[in-house]
Amino acid sequence: MKEALEKAREAFDAGEVPVGAILVESSGRFFADRNRTAETGMPTSHAEHLVISAAAEDRGDWRLEGCSLYTTLEPCLMCAGLVILARIPRIIFGAPDKRFGAFGSVTDVLEMPNLNHYPEVYGGCYKDECGKLMKEFFRLGRESGRKN
């Protein structure tokens, strides 16, 4: 999670919503990235989406069994759906997301019946550090008039 936090700080410094993600394979290899929605102009450029896509491309397989996803913020509905589709078995996230969180804060995709995959989800890892970074980013945005 410390590496994911470092990526979130990079996003913060780049003017992006400060979310970082790391996808770790069972071999120990990993893929790391940060939010890049403002940079790319694409709403899908969430940190989780980017690391999942990079790992799938590298493997040449959309199934990411045996991986763990670490992210500084509770995944949104889009990213939660991608985790389920990619069959990632474990998600560890930092701060809950009271606006878009899809693993318990706003909705819980794990309560949906008939999915073909239900990952283990652990929230609250480095929760204070992750939450503090988000709060600071949005506080500075309000003060500067920046749109987020």
Tokens of 144: 């500067």
Amino acid sitting at position 120: E
Helix (H, G, I), strand (E, B) or coil at 131: helix
Which residues contact residue 30 at a Cβ distance below 8 angstroms, ignoring those fewer than 6 apart?
A: 3, 22, 23, 24
Give the burial class of 13: count Cβ atoms within 10 A of its Cβ; 0-12 exposed, 13-18 middle, 19 or more buried: exposed
Q: Which of 3, 16, 39, 48 is catalytic?
A: 48
Is 48 noted as a catalytic residue in this protein? yes
- Give the active site residues: 48
